Amino acid sequence: MAPPHVLAVPFPAQGHVIPLMELCHCLVEHGFKVTFVNTEFNHKRLLAALSEESTVDQIALVSVPDGLGPGEDRNDLGRLTEAFTKVIPQCLEELIEKSNETEDPMTCMLVDVNMGWAREAVRKKGLRSAFFWPAAAQSLATLLSIPELISRGIIDADGTTISEHGRFQLGPGLPFIDATQLTWNFCGGDGRTKKLIFNYIVNNNRAIDVADFIICNSFKELEEPTFRYNPKILPIGPLLTGLRPNRALGNFWPEDAACLSWLDEQQPGSVVYVAFGSFTIFDRSQFQEFALGLEATGRPFLWVVRPDLTGDSADAYPDGFKERVGDRGRIVAWAPQQKVLAHPSVACFVSHCGWNSTMEGVRNGKLFLCWPYFTDQFLNQNYICDDWKVGLRLTPDESGIVKREQVKSKVEEMLSNEEMRARASMLKENAQQNLNEGGASFENLKTFMDAFRA
């Protein structure tokens, strides 16, 4: 009998591809075959970033067009979503039809919630489907509650925030959310783009309402009130991104594994690790101010500086910065983050609070210095600082700048807080218990896989 064959469809962004790829590796380990679909643009980046040792056993990497031209901006989420919804559905149908002519046809689809419209393509072909949410369960519960937000007068029918309702809760015990920080408010500066993204989400929600499964990269203790509020969302995390030896992870940039040797040379619990994800952009003055703050800590640091982190500035570092910090600082373009966070020399994580980074930090018992950039990252910051109490906020001053003195003082304050360390250790233990046989995440994943085998 042929193994179950999953068609996996991520949203075309780094933070969505990585966790879905990791989930697919889990499925392969349990006897599934996977066809993983990226856009042509991201497919090329992923292949270019693979190390020579990487393998993708039982995962077929395929690509489809995204509807944009070679030079168009894929960070413009309004244009991107408008373009790919016109071309990808037909491509998915063709992939399914081709697989039906083979000995192991596709039997089910695992699709990112943000690509919910893809369910219609597979429904017509008779495949079962499940949705994967790569962010906090609370952020998904909020998106699924749009009709309630409208009826309560928090937003209008176009998604525009009604000013007197700035903060809200979906229910008792759930976190407060700032309505101005809802997803569509960060996806473009003009009203047309915001409305386009809002309508895209509303249409996606219709597909999600009839899903067989909605699984997410979280675990019970992190968001227990949310899982009670919406029991359809099943936590299966934390996913072990980046810890499988020589397995393709889905990175769009080559990892600098040499930084692990540098970490080996540092004292336990001494290193400040800094990474701001794949979207964050700094202007030159803030970048330099932060660099001087890192220098002022006097601690060794590992700093991920993407080539485009400061826009067009090829070398935005303060004069003499690299010479002064010398070997105390290591700067890389992209790091094997989960391995870095698992390293005993790393003391804390200065983060944009993307959910993958948040889960990786929590799983490894690290403290956070939070500096969110957009969308759900502000909710994640609230979780870290207010609910779990394992981190502190970096707060811009009246001029909009996070000053070097604050960077230095917050690092010192955080690393001297023993209660915070104890809570981080407890969350690390909770995470592992969920993954162990009999744990809640283990059982949820087993339920999902058993259903897809049927």
Residue type for position 143: L
Q: Is residue 429 part of a domain?
A: no
Q: Is residue 312 part of a domain?
A: yes
Whether 120 and 221 map to the same domain: the answer is: yes
Q: Domain range for residue 64? A: 5-243+435-453
Q: Is residue 253 part of a domain?
A: no
CB 17 within 8 A of CB 33: no
Could you count the other beta carbons within 10 Å of the beta carbon of residue 167?
12
End-to-end CA, the chain: 12
Cis omega (within 30 of 0) on the bond before 225? Answer: no
Q: How far apart are CA 76 and CA 81, in angstroms?
A: 9
Whether 227 and 317 map to the same domain: the answer is: no
Q: How far apart are CA 161 and CA 252, in angstroms?
A: 35
Whether 327 and 225 map to the same domain: the answer is: no
Closest by CA to 204, choosing from 279, 337, 113, is 113
CB 7 within 8 A of CB 37: yes
Whether 265 and 190 map to the same domain: the answer is: no
CB 96 within 8 A of CB 7: yes
Whether 231 and 312 map to the same domain: the answer is: no
Whether 349 and 290 map to the same domain: the answer is: yes
Task: Give the per-residue pLDDT at 210.
Answer: 79
Whether 170 and 198 map to the same domain: the answer is: yes
Residues 6+ apart with CB under 8 A from 199: none
Largest interatomic CA distance in the chain: 65
- The CATH number of whichever domain residue 116 belongs to comes to 3.40.50.2000
Q: Is residue 422 part of a domain?
A: no
Q: Is residue 169 part of a domain?
A: yes
Whether 178 and 268 map to the same domain: the answer is: no
Q: Is residue 365 part of a domain?
A: yes
Domains of the chain: total: 2
Structural tokens at position 451: 């259903």
Element (H, E) at 66: none
Q: Is residue 248 part of a domain?
A: no
Given a cut of 50, the residues of the chain with pLDDT beneath it are: none
Task: Give the per-residue pLDDT at 249.
Answer: 66
Whether 224 and 85 map to the same domain: the answer is: yes
Whether 399 and 361 map to the same domain: the answer is: yes
Q: Is residue 399 part of a domain?
A: yes
Whether 89 and 234 map to the same domain: the answer is: yes
Each residue of 398-431: pLDDT tens digit? 999 999 999 999 999 999 999 999 999 999 999 9
Whether 402 and 445 map to the same domain: the answer is: no
Q: How far apart are CA 79 and CA 76, in angstroms?
A: 6
Q: How far apart are CA 210 and CA 130, in angstroms?
A: 10
Task: Give the per-residue pLDDT at 185.
Answer: 85
Q: How far apart are CA 204 and CA 129, in angstroms?
A: 14
Q: What is the three-class DSSP state of 351?
A: strand
